[in-house]
Amino acid sequence: MATIITQKELNQIIWNACGTFRGVIDPSEYKDYILTMLFIKYVSDVYRDKHDEHLKKYDGDAERAEYAMKHERFIVPKNSTFDSLFEHRNDSNIGELINTALIDFEEANREKLSSEDGSSIFRNIDFNSNKLGETKDRNTRLKNLLIDFGDEKLNLWPSHLQGTDIIGDAYEYLISNFASDAGKKAGEFYTPSEVSTLLAKLVKSKPGSRICDPTCGSGSLLIKAGKEVESNDFALFGQEANGNTWALAIMNMFLHGFDNATIRWGDTLNNPKLKEWDALMKFDTVVANPPFSLDKWGADDAASDKYNRFWRGVPPKSKGDWAFITHMIETTYEWTGKVGVVVPHGVLFRGASEWKIRQKTIEENLLEAVIWLPANLFFGTGIPAAILIFNRGKKDHTNVLFIDASQGFETAKNQNKLRPEDIAKIVETYAVFHEGKSPRGIIEEKYSFVATFEEIKENEFNLNIPRYVDTFVEEEEVDITAVQKEIAELNAELVKTEKEMEGYIRELGF
């Protein structure tokens, strides 16, 4: 029996494979090749494992085993298996063979792996592309890639992995490292793990919930939200505008075992795809880390939106933050839905149409919490951010919780990170408020405060944290007399030292 691979070993093997493309193409591109190969290796090993199980069950009857395989998670044509590609690693047309393998694999699983319009999740990935080098160099790189993934330790059968999370976690490990390397582009496909964990815990869904992320990226936040449910009884839904990132999300769901997740490709604001009949689908929980202050988000058509999402007002053309927030609120169940969203600080206090929308949501008693996050948490941007929690089931009071969590973090290599204790403190503080144990006032000095509707109204619906959480630290009083005395003593010491120096200089004959 093969040795069970550890998460650390798996991460290292796959990360080593990344060396195939370093210096050849941009990190934001080579992630597609590495993660696609990981996906193919995983489904191939799982398929082989299941086939062996059926052969054993049916006493070696290959025909019955093949029939049973038609009802498994995936159908994997022989030429699409990793083993087949590995056998042909020295072929002069290996790039073309990999492309064909992907096409045939997707065709055999079209209902699971294609978009509504039939677009392929592999449509933008070309292992025979000239950008991977001239034919000889390209073939060498692809051969090395197959050898890396052919490492005997990299056996991805479930019986050796004790479940599928180890693969999903390796996938997210790679995404996070690609996000670090990809710089500014990283935010397009990945939300830092700690932020996803925090948001998922804050909106913790009940069993039976529908959970949605309308800007799901590679799906990490949506997966975290699902894992917070204390059962397997939930449904995941997502939409992503970027085609490459949508493909990553599809694969990520399968690698985590969420085969029934519904992930659509399209622009959520201008072309929402998650619908039932002619209406927008409703959810128990909606979470998102939308693109900050998105320009040209579709303001010109928002006033005539067929779903009437923007009845509170149309956000500015150059800042789509409240457009995403409004969409999220409108797609939750009216009396029970909950929204958790990451936003730039400007959302808390900007004026004009944003002020009017903010005012209305507060007057509707939808806003439950404002959490100020540490700076520099996100890849490719130092923009400070906050988390807003909206609760459509908030009935007993009109108060809002404010948390200044900006000082709780550790400094990492490329950006700051929330520590487990930082996440726990935020979640515990929110739980105290949410459960009604702190109706108003200070929960913790210089950290959290519960404001009434009247106090927020007095602040003209400005949600800037310093207006509610007093973080001012008084400086110690300076004893002027003592300072003057110390200065006089230092001056006297200086005069004495200068005289001694003059004496030494005379002795030396200068």
Looking at residue 189, its pLDDT comes to 57
CA angle 185, 190, 196 (to 5 degrees): 145
Question: 433: exposed, middle or buried (C-beta count within 10 Å: 0-12, 13-18, 19+)?
Answer: buried
* Residue whose structure tokens are 């489904």: 43
What count of other Cβ atoms lies within 10 Å of the Cβ of residue 110? Answer: 10
Longest dimension (CA), the chain: 108
Looking at residue 160, its pLDDT comes to 46
Phi, psi (5° rounding) for residue 170? -65, -40
Looking at residue 163, its pLDDT comes to 46
Looking at residue 1, its pLDDT comes to 46
pLDDT, tens digit only, all 510 positions of the chain: 456 677 788 888 878 888 888 778 876 677 788 889 989 998 998 898 899 899 999 998 989 988 998 888 889 999 999 999 999 999 999 999 999 999 999 999 988 887 776 778 888 899 999 999 999 999 999 999 999 998 887 776 654 444 445 666 777 777 777 666 655 444 455 788 899 999 999 999 999 999 999 999 889 899 999 999 989 999 999 999 988 889 888 988 988 889 899 999 999 999 999 999 889 999 999 999 999 999 999 999 999 999 999 999 999 999 999 999 999 999 999 999 999 999 999 999 999 999 999 999 999 999 999 999 998 888 766 788 999 999 999 988 899 999 999 999 898 777 788 999 999 999 999 999 988 766 667 778 889 999 999 999 999 999 999 999 987 545 556 677 777 888 888 888 887 887 777 776 776 666
Looking at residue 152, its pLDDT comes to 80
Looking at residue 283, its pLDDT comes to 98
How many residues make up the chain in this entry? 510
Instruction: Report the alpha-carbon distance of residue 416 to residue 88 in Å, rounded.
Output: 44
pTM: 0.85
Instruction: Report the alpha-carbon distance of residue 387 to residue 243 in Å, rounded.
Output: 27
Phi, psi (5° rounding) for residue 502? -60, -40
Instruction: Report the alpha-carbon distance of residue 187 to residue 412 in Å, rounded.
Output: 17
* Residue whose structure tokens are 């923009």: 383
Contact criterion met (CB below 8 Å) for 264 and 239: yes
* Residue whose structure tokens are 């298996």: 81
Instruction: Report the alpha-carbon distance of residue 445 to residue 246 in Å, rounded.
Output: 43
Nearest to 98 by CA among 151, 59, 137, 145: 145
Looking at residue 80, its pLDDT comes to 96
